[in-house]
Amino acid sequence: MKRRQLLTLLVGAATARPIRSFAQQSVKRPVLGFLVAGSQASHGAWVTTFAQRLSELGWADGRNVRIEYKWAAGDVQKTEEFAGDFVRQKVDVIVTSAYGVVAAKQATSTIPIVFAAYGDAVANGFAASLSRPGGNVTGLSIQPGELSSKRLELLREAIPSVRRLAALVNINYAGLKQELAGMRVASARMNIELNVIEIATANDIEPAMAKLSGHTDALYVYSEPLTNANKSQIIAATASAKIPTIFAFREFVDAGGLLSYGPNFSDLFSRAAEYTDKILRGATPADMPIQQPVKFDLIINLRAAKSLGVSISDSVLMRADEVLE
């Protein structure tokens, strides 16, 4: 009898241990660290798009995955601090964009990093090639050099009288080198005088905008988290000075800017969720090709044009994806 009891206990112990272990494993959920380069006002809709697409792919926040959000609002120091926080927490994936990619890569070479929008990852040393990145970083590239040239061409076609152009530039912007190079080539080709105005923090914006009145025919805003988070201030200043503006994000035009041309960022953040899904299911960033935008939007604000006293050429209006009237 005692022998039977001993055998029963041994068998019970052997079978119970895996069950407890499985229960513990099933409770553990992967953690995503979403390092948002902007603010809730500037990036909230894009982040929501990411979360919705991730849910469609089977990952519901709070059920089988946990998403932790940190909002840097274009602040470089906060971005770096938040990246370090995620590494210390040992999150499973870091999702980010813009300077967040730089901060995350500086903080870790092992945790997978998915970028929803970044410049040239190969030129900046974060990937060996677009087809095979080879490291812990992958995502969506936004081709800053090519697009800056295209925007300048659109601006000149929309408003042929532009001869002097100011460019508001965040010196911490990850894609600055490539975008500025494209601007210089295009402005020289079109015989436009280019004046680069540098900023680094939100406190630099007001004095920078004060330099524009009477010294430029239009303003090109390098659209990134810092300028996006402070777009209302920028647009109010240019409206008061009657200066036409061109941006990369349609959100600037929705807020009162004149023109925008660039990738559809909602689509980019949705596609970033697809990268994240694959990594959560076992894929590695090293083998996941960096992709480029497939949707580009030209948005024109005729209300802003009217208040500025400018007329947009019909050739550009006909190509617009959306005209705000």
Residues 6+ apart with CB under 8 A from 124: 102, 174
pLDDT per position as a tens digit, 206-233: 999 998 988 999 999 998 889 999 999 9
Instruction: Please state, in angstroms and rounded to a whole number, the distance separating the CA atoms of residues 90 and 67.
Output: 13
Instruction: Please state, in angstroms and rounded to a whole number, the distance separating the CA atoms of residues 240 and 33.
Output: 40
Whether the Cβ atoms of residue 104 and residue 85 lie closer than 8 Å to each other:
no
Q: Is the pLDDT of residue 21 over 50?
A: no
Instruction: Please state, in angstroms and rounded to a whole number, the distance separating the CA atoms of residues 287 and 294.
Output: 21
Which CATH architecture is the domain 144-263+297-324 placed in? 3-Layer(aba) Sandwich (3.40)
Q: Where are the domains of the chain?
A: 26-142+265-294, 144-263+297-324
Residues 6+ apart with CB under 8 A from 11: none
pLDDT per position as a tens digit, 155-167: 999 999 999 999 9
User: Whole-model pTM?
Assistant: 0.83
pLDDT per position as a tens digit, 267-277: 999 999 999 99
CATH number of the structural domain 26-142+265-294: 3.40.50.2300
What pLDDT does residue 27 have? 56
